[in-house]
Structure 1
Amino acid sequence: MLLRRDGDSVIAIGQASHAWVSGQMARAWHPRLEPYEEICLAAEQHDVGMAMWDLAPALNPRTGLPQSFVEMDLGVHLGLWHAAPARLLSQSRYAALLVSLHGSKLYSLRDLAAMPVVEAEQIRDYLGTQRVFQHQLAGELGIGPELLHELQELMFTLDGLSLAVLAPWDPFEIGGITVRGLTLDPWPFEPAELTVRCEGRRLHGTFDDEQQLHVALDEAERVDLELVLRPR
């Protein structure tokens, strides 16, 4: 769940909706990505593991709002990322591989030495499982280590750019691209400007318990977000 402040309300954007924006960016990328459809599918589905959780997210009792993706319980978050790549296997092994690579990238950034031992071991177990999965698929697809690294960095960049414009994070830098508001420098897309779209749910106020939150989400006004990105 991504929480976007909008006046005195909050727009709750599901992770799958944010990933849709990553997919739109992938389709507009310059130079054209190859294999095009597989990479665009992976970008669009990279948070597929979160889709059901976001329909009824946990409450953050401190804020009275849904837990954002950076506030989730580690065990829950790891469980969803464990399951995510397999959800794409019936569609595309290539996309499943990229989603696995992306999850590994996100968790590799954590300082395991500074974490409780039990949590650090959970992450090591996750990373080890994903390495086996990645090795198998990369072998089947004939993808070498250098290309795997490039694809992992591309997924990380597409994810970060989407989060930066939706959250928004201003300024933000990722993959050599600086985001300020809705401007990007250097410009990574084919068209002279790019309009991206996604959906969210508008929440007013805060909530005391999860049942109250879930009712509010079910009844919330649906918001169509449309953002016009331009070169700086």
Structure 2
Amino acid sequence: MIVRDAGDSWQLVLQTDHADLAAGFGAAWADRGPRHDSVVVATRRHDDGWATWERSPLVDEASRPVQFLDVHVPAHLAFYRAGIAAITDEDHYAGLLVSMHGAGIYRQRYGTDPALGLTRAPEVQELVDAFVAEQEAAYPERMAAVGVSDELRWEDYHRLQWLDRFSLAFCMRDWDAAGEPFDVGSYRFEPLGPWRARVTPYPFAEPSVAVTLLRRRVPKEQWTQAAFREAFASAPVEAVDVVVEA
């Protein structure tokens, strides 16, 4: 779950809703490889494993909803394994890309996002290393099964990472008004107004792209686990139109 402090409330975005936003960007992406349909599947489903955890989300000792970077790592590893297996059943190449994504979370997107890291990963480093090694050991067999080159799977992996990061840029920030430009890797985002941004260099095929973000709001209170789960389950789902333009 992606948590943002919204003043008197918490803005909450499910990982699966964040992934749908990312897939919307993927459908509009201009720079496409020959297996882009599988990239979009991988993008739409890259966080499917979270669905189990998010049926009963947690609050921490300070009554703040637990952010995705702070989740208990053994649980994270378990549901990512399950998600990778399920995605592979639909699309074997998408399964490879999500396997790379899952391992890459613990390797700063294979060196391209140095700030990325689950806060509790060092506590269970042996489990993390075993998970990464397990996924990486299967890459050659997965590549052979779908007939893709090493070059293509890395190109598509990085496409998936950009789509993930574009979505996170909207899920994790305040977009209620225009604001100061900020960078996401090599891209610059200029907030032009509520949920509207100019991006340079511009990565989409059309001059303007509109996608939908689903979010919930839960008031800030001293929550018990049970009360928070009930409040979260009953919170209305808001659909926000996100617009990106050249």
1:154 to 143, 150, 159: 159
Residue 92 of structure 1, CA deviation: 0.5
Counterpart position of 1:186:
201
Residue 33 of structure 1, CA deviation: 4.2
184-193 or 34-43, larger mean C-alpha shift? 34-43
Residue 16 of structure 1, CA deviation: 0.4
Q: TM-score if structure 2 supplies the norm length?
A: 0.85
Deviations 1:97-129 (A, max 9, x none): 111111111111278xxx75x611111100111
CA contact (8 A) 2:216 2:235 kept: yes
Q: Does 1:173 align with 2:181?
A: no
Secondary structure (helix, strand or coil) at the match of 1:66 reads coil
Secondary structure (helix, strand or coil) at the match of 2:54 reads helix
Determine the C-alpha separation between the residues in 2 that align with 1:133 and 1:178. Answer: 35
Counterpart position of 1:81:
80
Alignment-mate amino acid for residue 45 of structure 2: Q
CA contact (8 A) 2:17 2:214 kept: yes
Secondary structure (helix, strand or coil) at the match of 1:208 reads coil
**Pairing 1:190-209 to 2, within 5 Å after superposition:** 190-209=205-224
Deviations 1:162-189 (A, max 9, x none): 1012212862322x22223322111100
Q: Which runs of 5+ in 2 are unaligned?
A: 109-115, 175-180, 192-196
Q: TM-score if structure 1 supplies the norm length?
A: 0.89
Alignment-mate amino acid for residue 182 of structure 2: P
Runs of 4+ in 1 over 4 A off after TM superposition: none
How has the CA–CA distance of structure 1 residues 45 and 191 changed in structure 2, closer, same or farther, with 3 Å as cutoff?
A: same
Alignment-mate amino acid for residue 143 of structure 2: A
**Pairing 1:3-152 to 2, within 5 Å after superposition:** 3-62=3-62, 64-109=63-108, 116=122, 119-152=124-157
Q: Which runs of 5+ in 1 are unaligned?
A: none
Determine the C-alpha separation between the residues in 2 that align with 1:104 and 1:92. Answer: 18
Determine the C-alpha separation between the residues in 2 that align with 1:171 and 1:15. Answer: 23
Alignment-mate amino acid for residue 158 of structure 1: L
Counterpart position of 2:194:
none
Determine the C-alpha separation between the residues in 1 that align with 2:243 and 2:6. Answer: 17
CA contact (8 A) 1:11 1:223 kept: no
Secondary structure (helix, strand or coil) at the match of 1:16 reads helix
Alignment-mate amino acid for residue 29 of structure 1: W
CA contact (8 A) 2:52 2:79 kept: no
Alignment-mate amino acid for residue 128 of structure 1: A
Percent identical among aligned pairs is 24
Alignment-mate amino acid for residue 106 of structure 1: I
CA contact (8 A) 1:207 1:213 kept: no
How has the CA–CA distance of structure 1 residues 159 and 28 changed in structure 2, closer, same or farther, with 3 Å as cutoff?
A: same
